[in-house]
Amino acid sequence: MESLKVSQKALAKLRDLLDTKTIERSELQTRQEVRRTTPSHVRSPYIFFFQRLNDQLSHAKVKLERAQNHAEDKKSLSQKTIERLQQEYDNMVVERRENDRQIEEVRQEANDVEMKVRRPPLHGLTLNLVNRFKIISNEARLSLTSY
């Protein structure tokens, strides 16, 4: 993922360099064309000056268009990244909720097992009470007979 970002940055730099070189080339071609097509007695420094200003304006327009396209590309890429991160966050929320539910179930099962281990079964308790009752009854009979 990181190497993809690095490659994309390098590609963007190379595109900018290509655009710059293309603009420089077109400037040179324009200068050569003006020199070829304009007779030497008509050439004045002002023609080159205005031609250069015109070229600079056209190149500025090209750069502006390229910058706008680049900004739109970055905006759409950022929007896609935001949407991807939102989807990942939503998935994490669902996973966390499911995990919390499973943990609660396991905790409840552990509490149930712990309660079963701590309290003796009712059957054993009933037998103990019956045995105690028998012992107390026998002791009461013995004490009654001793009078």
Among 3-12, 54-63, 98-107, the range of highest mean pLDDT: 98-107
The pTM of this model reads 0.43
Q: What pLDDT was estimated at residue 31?
A: 74
| Range with the largest mean pLDDT of 7-21, 86-100, 116-130 | 86-100
Average pLDDT, the chain: 81
Q: In percent, how much of the chain has pLDDT > 90?
A: 29
Do 59 and 23 form a contact (C-beta atoms < 8 A)? yes
DSSP string, the chain: -HHHHHHHHHHHHHHHHHHHHHHHHHHHHHHHHHHHHS-TTT--HHHHHHHHHHHHHHHHHHHHHHHHHHHHHHHHHHHHHHHHHHHHHHHHHHHHHHHHHHHHHHHHHHHHHHHHHHSPPHHHHHHHHHHHHHHHHHHHHHHHHT-
Q: Is 11 a residue whose pLDDT tops 70?
A: yes
Mean pLDDT of 77-89: 95
Stretch 100-129: mean pLDDT: 76
Higher confidence at residue 115 or residue 62?
62
Q: Which residue has the higher pLDDT, 122 or 117?
A: 117
Q: How confident is the model at residue 8 (pLDDT cuts 50, 70, 90)?
A: confident
| Domain segments of the chain as ranges | 2-35+53-120
Residue 53, token pair as written in the block: 């200003």
Give CA–CA dist 63/24, Å, rounded: 12
